[in-house]
Amino acid sequence: MSAAHAGGSSRPPIRQSKLVRDLEWALSSPQMFDSRAVGVVESPWCSRIHVASEEWLRALDQDPSPLRDWLSQQHNRLRLGFYFGYLVEYWLRYCPAVGASDVCIGQQLRKPDGGTMGQLKYVFSSENGIAGSAALGQPGMGAMRLHWEASVKYFIHTTAEKSAVSPAAQPSIGNSESEGRIRELAQYVGPFLCENLAYRPNANLAYRNTALIFAVLSDTVHPGTGSLRHGES
């Protein structure tokens, strides 16, 4: 992170609590993708919230019991993906600088015929427009309903000759330059042949800014109030 921290130092303070260090990393770790090319929450926004949260983080570091107790109540918290997701959720639920409200986790996506086709990881309200979020509403017009996805993944780089990548994991773009880039990204493989760095962003962003997303956002709040209609948590 390049922004200066409280006290004028460009180096982040060292936290005593591992939980608080993990919480801090969940927001301040570098983005893998260029926000101009992929719709992600922009690093400058994360840096600003990180700096503004110094007092909150310092208090948690002195007494991490609220974070520890909250995490202890969460299902599968010892699994990496779940743990990271809970840390992001904690930022949304409890960090004053984020300013989120009406946080809804795991909002189901339903087809017109009633079947399910996945879920939205985080849906919440905020009066601060956050770039990279699917949003219902306009900046300056009160609370906006926002959608976030988040994940943490580890990939191993292999050579093209050694990587046996499933064709389903290589999205077709129809552009030779783009497809060459995709082939490069596909060399970063996960624990399964169907998962690699070329496939994963497309999977996570599959429903971003679609009519289905905005239908869910509008259906979870009463117009003009920001209060939850379904899935209250």
How does pLDDT run across 70-93, given as a tens digit for each residue? 999 999 999 999 999 999 999 999
Residue ranges making up the domain that contains 94: 1-98
- Phi then psi for residue 46, to 5 deg, are -60, -40
Asked whether residue 127 is domain-assigned, the answer is: no
Task: Judge whether 105 and 74 are in contact, CB under 8 Å.
Answer: no
Q: Number of helices and strands (H, E) in the chain?
A: 8, 6
Instruction: Encode pLDDT of 144-179 as tens digits.
Output: 778 888 888 788 888 755 544 444 444 444 455 567
Tokens of 5: 């921290």
Query: Which pLDDT does position 74 carry in this prediction?
Result: 96
Q: How many domains does the chain have?
A: 2
Is residue 178, in this structure, part of any structural domain at all? yes
Q: What is the pLDDT of residue 200?
A: 64
Q: Nearest to residue 91, comparing CAs of 30, 15, 12, 150?
A: 150
- pTM score above 0.75: no
CA separation for the pair 180, 92 (Å, rounded): 38
pLDDT at 131: 47
Tell how strand 156-157 and strand 100-110 pair up: unpaired
Q: Is residue 220 part of a domain?
A: no
Instruction: Clarify whether residues 17 and 92 are in a common domain.
Output: yes
* 170 and 93 within one domain: no
If DSSP codes are grouped into helix, strand and coil, which group holds residue 90? helix
In a domain, 181, yes or no: yes
Write out residues in the chain with pLDDT < 70, as ranges.
Answer: 1-12, 33-39, 117, 128-143, 160-178, 193, 200-233
Are 1 and 86 contained in the same domain? Answer: yes
Whether residue 91 sits in one domain with residue 13: yes
